[in-house]
Amino acid sequence: MATLQARETPDSRVGVTIDNVSKIYETRGEPILALQDCSLEMRAGEFVSVVGPSGCGKSTLMLMVAGLIPSSGGSITIGETLVREPYTDLGIVFQEPVLLDWRKVMGNILLQVELRRGYDKRKYLQRAHELLDLVGLSGFEGRYPFELSGGMRQRVSICRALLHDPPLLLMDEPFGALDALTRDQLNLDLQSIWLGSGKTVMFVTHSISEAVFLGDKVVVFSGRPGRVVEVLDIHLPRPRHLSIRETPEFGRYAGEIRRVFSSLGILRDEGATEPLPALSPHE
């Protein structure tokens, strides 16, 4: 696979600071407290996995980082910018590819360029071709979404998110609907893209294994109202290969996350054997 070079500008790497953020949804009945007092630091160029049960506010937090919904308290800062409105210098990949059925692959990738004034479409056309080659879709520029597999459609959505070379990439369960083999391959492809670009990535997932495999650190969320209960630094060599999931070190990280969920009552495995020893602060 080719490598994706980061843009050479002073702001090509940004960190994210989430400080004591909460979110309350007003409803016709009782208000819903989705997130409570969440604080998190994402260093520039870091791959941060966020894992937690359904409904714990992981996706809500990601949307607040993007400025697409307001927080009810606290603050979010990207680089030096306090997020008060939609933040445009980032890319978002959702669980569903969200492609326009009547537009071909290239048309879907270039959509945001067409919608933004002042963007030179010709300049981004070359980058779109490079991205398609990067994800193994060279030659599919003229296909419609219905002619592609689920994994291929998600690759197109990744190309669209990366088209304007954002320093920050937000990914909300992007591989959750895919079969296991396709998901494994996209994990490898995403790691390769990230290693070659130096972007900061916030990756939301329900999969403990996926979170450990991809992350520099794993942020563990409680059930609703969501809050950060553990931040686990992952000290595994890169690039990571799928075989690393069979190692004792990988097993200890995954076991530690499961232990946290068990302590919260999220996992109830009454017939389980004794858990692996907890990680030391240096592991």
In CATH, what number is assigned to the domain containing residue 179? Answer: 3.40.50.300
Q: Which pLDDT band, with edges at 50, 70 and 90, does 2 fall under?
A: very low
Q: Of the ranges 96-100, 220-224, 262-266, which one carries the lowest mean pLDDT score?
A: 262-266
Asked whether residue 64 is assigned to any structural domain, the reply reads yes
pLDDT over 90 (residue 276): no
Strands (E), 26-112: 32-42, 47-51, 73-78, 81-82, 90-93
Domain that holds residue 180: 16-89+167-263
| Domain end call among 125, 148, 165 | 165
Q: Which residues make Cβ contacts (< 8 Å) with residue 237, sequence separation at least 6?
A: none
Cβ-count burial of 116 within 10 angstroms (0-12 exposed, 13-18 middle, 19+ buried)?
Answer: exposed
Examine the domain organization and report whether 186 and 75 are in the same domain: yes
Asked whether residue 132 is assigned to any structural domain, the reply reads yes
Q: Which two tokens stand for residue 75?
A: 């603050």
The pLDDT value recorded for residue 243 is 97
Asked whether residue 135 is assigned to any structural domain, the reply reads yes
| Domain end call among 123, 150, 165 | 165
Examine the domain organization and report whether 182 and 257 are in the same domain: yes
Ordered alpha helix ranges (H), 76-165: 105-109, 111-115, 121-134, 150-162
- Give the whole-angstrom CA distance, residue 92 versus residue 158: 8
Q: How far is CA 143 from the centre of its chain?
A: 26
Examine the domain organization and report whether 138 and 188 are in the same domain: no
The pLDDT value recorded for residue 282 is 47
Q: Which pLDDT band, with edges at 50, 70 and 90, does 107 fall under?
A: very high
Q: Which pLDDT band, with edges at 50, 70 and 90, does 1 fall under?
A: very low
The pLDDT value recorded for residue 119 is 72
C-alpha dist (Å) from residue 192 to 167, 176, 261: 16, 19, 30
Examine the domain organization and report whether 124 and 72 are in the same domain: no
Examine the domain organization and report whether 109 and 156 are in the same domain: yes
Examine the domain organization and report whether 150 and 172 are in the same domain: no
Examine the domain organization and report whether 26 and 44 are in the same domain: yes
Number of domains forming the structure of the chain: 2
Q: Of the ranges 5-14, 38-47, 76-85, 156-165, which one carries the lowest mean pLDDT score?
A: 5-14
Examine the domain organization and report whether 189 and 242 are in the same domain: yes
Asked whether residue 245 is assigned to any structural domain, the reply reads yes
- Give the whole-angstrom CA distance, residue 196 versus residue 175: 20
Asked whether residue 277 is assigned to any structural domain, the reply reads no
Asked whether residue 153 is assigned to any structural domain, the reply reads yes
The pLDDT value recorded for residue 207 is 94
Examine the domain organization and report whether 66 and 176 are in the same domain: yes
Q: Which two tokens stand for residue 258?
A: 């499961």
Q: Which pLDDT band, with edges at 50, 70 and 90, does 10 fall under?
A: very low
* C-beta of residue 178 within 8 angstroms of C-beta of residue 154: yes
pLDDT, tens only, 116-171: 756 777 889 999 999 999 899 999 999 999 999 999 999 999 999 999 899 999 99
Which residue's entry shows tokens 């895919």? 178
SS3 231: strand
| Domain end call among 145, 165, 185 | 165
Asked whether residue 180 is assigned to any structural domain, the reply reads yes
Q: What is the DSSP string of 246-257?
A: GSHHHHHHHHHH
pLDDT, tens only, 156-211: 999 999 998 999 999 999 998 899 999 999 999 999 999 998 899 999 999 999 99
C-alpha dist (Å) from residue 52 to 106, 170, 211, 220, 262: 35, 16, 10, 6, 12
Examine the domain organization and report whether 60 and 128 are in the same domain: no
Examine the domain organization and report whether 191 and 69 are in the same domain: yes
Examine the domain organization and report whether 190 and 233 are in the same domain: yes
How long, in residues, is the chain? 283
* C-beta of residue 264 within 8 angstroms of C-beta of residue 222: yes
Asked whether residue 3 is assigned to any structural domain, the reply reads no
